Amino acid sequence: MAGDVSLMLTRARRDAELTVRNPCVGLDASETDRLFERFYRPDPSRERGTGGYGIGLSIARSATERRGGKIRAKKVGDDLEIVVTLPLAR
């Protein structure tokens, strides 16, 4: 799917917060937690033409948690927003 992707990096107290937002029509809001499961792909994206194996967000979660951070996803209208929060070095 074509569309604009936005990135925003902010500081929230002692954390850095990276927000990535991109179009994601067809994903139900109830599926956002499952996006971090290895090999999970929502039904509309199972078509061969969309590519991907369903492991990218699982890897992102693992890398984020190993560094003491958190990652979450939420639907915002027709967009999917992924927020990564990582502690800043002291």
The C-alpha angle 4, 10, 13, rounded to 5 degrees, equals 155
Contact 17, 84 (CB under 8 A): yes
Q: How many domains does the chain contain in total?
A: 1
What tens digit of pLDDT does each residue of 19-36 get? 999 988 777 788 878 787
The DSSP H or E segment spanning 68 is none
Query: Is 19 a domain residue?
Result: yes
Query: Is 71 a domain residue?
Result: yes
Query: Is 1 a domain residue?
Result: no
pLDDT of 46 higher than 60? no
pLDDT of 87 higher than 60? yes
Whether the predicted model's global pTM rises above the 0.75 cut: yes
Query: Is 83 a domain residue?
Result: yes
Expressed as residue numbers, the domain containing 17 is 6-87
DSSP secondary structure letters along 2-43 = ----EEEEEEETTEEEEEEEEE-TT--GGGGGGGGSTT---G
Query: Is 69 a domain residue?
Result: yes
Task: Give the sheet arrangement for strand 15-23, strand by strand.
Answer: 6-12, 15-23, 79-87, 70-76
CATH of the domain at 75: 3.30.565.10
Query: Is 28 a domain residue?
Result: yes
